[in-house]
Amino acid sequence: MEKKEVKLLGLWSSPFVARVIWALKLKGIEYEYIEEKDLMQNKSPLLLESNPVSKMVPVLIHGGKPICESLNILEYIDEVWSDNRLLPEDPYEKAIVRFWAKFAEEKLAESARTILTSEGEELENEVKQFEEALDILEKEIKDNIKKFFGGETIGYLDLVLGWSGLWLEIIEELSCGKKISSDTHRYPTFNRWIEDVNDVNIIKENLPSKDQLSTYLLYIRNLALAYKAKN
Ligand SMILES: N[C@@H](CCC(=O)N[C@@H](CS)C(=O)NCC(=O)O)C(=O)O
């Protein structure tokens, strides 16, 4: 295949961008990383042109053509660079993996976003829903996965959920001041799994620093709470 240039528009603190970086590195794909330096106030012309619909990162640009939405990007990467498959080839298994990816995005990622940006009753209700979703995930991991969702090696769902170590730890500390997901009594298998994921070199070496991320997420939390208080 003709080698086309690969670019990634990203943001250092984004878990959605991190999963794409992990996939590119796991596959050994060379790419140029372009940080969206002022994503909230002043999006770059390249981002606006590449993702005019949601104007969000990550965007992968392959041979000049943009691909948006992180899960879509992971699937694209897996199809184009088909060595070291991330998704199973069997259609049934692939459908199951996609089901859990959707569950993870809707029930965990969205919930974590709400937990970060809420307080009081809203926060309490969201935490309950989040814990219930984690109960379901804990059971799935316990019953159906080996070391990783991908088997003995890391795969698509591990990348999709890989943010849940560092990002959740910080979000829970900032918003709730207590352990939720890292409760090893309620979620023993989840915690064993996330430890294994964080132990993979490509993941470990491509995580933001905890201090920097905490400072940034606290800033986002305070902005969101101030906005809610005004409106
Ligand atoms: N569903 C999207 C979510 C991406 C997302 O939320 N990106 C955030 C950064 S973490 C963003 O670009 N926000 C800019 C904005 O909301 O204007 C994906 O999976 O790619």
Residue with the smallest CA separation from ligand 1 atom 13 is: 56
Is 29 within 8 Å of 84 (Cβ atoms)?
A: no
> Are 41 and 142 in a shared domain?
no
Task: Tell me which residue of 149, 182, 185 sits closest to 168, measured CA to CA.
Answer: 182
β-bridge mates for residue 33, sequence order: 8
What CATH number should be reported for the domain holding residue 59?
3.40.30.10
Q: What is the model's pLDDT at position 113?
A: 96
- Total tally of structural domains belonging to the chain: 2
In a domain, 1, yes or no: no
> Are 127 and 54 in a shared domain?
no
Q: Which of 8, 12, 16 to mutate for ligand 1's pocket (most ligand atoms within 8 Å of CB)?
A: 16
By residue range, what is the domain housing residue 191? 91-230
Question: Ligand 1 centroid to 149 CA: how many Å?
Answer: 24
* φ and ψ of 201, to 5 deg: -55, -45
Q: What is the model's pLDDT at position 18?
A: 98
Task: Tell me which residue of 40, 79, 84 sits closest to 60, measured CA to CA.
Answer: 79
Question: Ligand 1 centroid to 15 CA: how many Å?
Answer: 9
Asked whether the predicted pLDDT for residue 117 surpasses 80, the reply is: yes
The CA-atom distances, in angstroms, between 14 and each of 9, 91, 207, 217 are 11, 30, 10, 10
Residue with the smallest CA separation from ligand 1 atom 10 is: 14
Is 130 within 8 Å of 156 (Cβ atoms)?
A: no
In a domain, 134, yes or no: yes
> Are 188 and 217 in a shared domain?
yes
Asked whether the predicted pLDDT for residue 8 surpasses 80, the reply is: yes
> Are 16 and 58 in a shared domain?
yes
What CATH number should be reported for the domain holding residue 106?
1.20.1050.10
Is 46 within 8 Å of 28 (Cβ atoms)?
A: no
Mean pLDDT of the chain: 96
Q: What is the model's pLDDT at position 76?
A: 98
Q: What is the model's pLDDT at position 231?
A: 87
β-bridge mates for residue 10, sequence order: 35
Asked whether the predicted pLDDT for residue 3 surpasses 90, the reply is: no
Give Cβ neighbours of residue 159 (< 8 Å, ≥ 6 apart): 19, 22, 23, 26, 74, 86
Residue 167 token pair: 């990002």
Q: Which helix (H) or strand (E) holds 35?
A: strand 32-35
> Are 107 and 177 in a shared domain?
yes
Q: What is the model's pLDDT at position 1?
A: 52
In terms of Cβ atoms closer than 10 Å to its own Cβ (0-12, 13-18, 19+), residue 79 is exposed
Q: Which residues line the pocket of ligand 1, CB cutoff 6 A? A: 11, 14, 16, 39, 55-58, 69-71
Q: How confident is the model at residue 109 (pLDDT cuts 50, 70, 90)?
A: very high
**pLDDT per residue over 140-185, tens digit each?**
999 988 999 989 999 999 999 999 999 999 999 999 998 899 999 9
Residue with the smallest CA separation from ligand 1 atom 11 is: 56
In a domain, 104, yes or no: yes
What average pLDDT does range 111-138 have in this prediction? Answer: 97
Residue with the smallest CA separation from ligand 1 atom 16 is: 56
> Are 156 and 120 in a shared domain?
yes
**pLDDT per residue over 42-98, tens digit each?**
999 999 999 999 999 999 999 999 999 999 999 999 999 999 999 999 999 999 999
Question: Ligand 1 centroid to 55 CA: how many Å?
Answer: 8
Q: Which of 9, 38, 56 to mutate for ligand 1's pocket (most ligand atoms within 8 Å of CB)?
A: 56
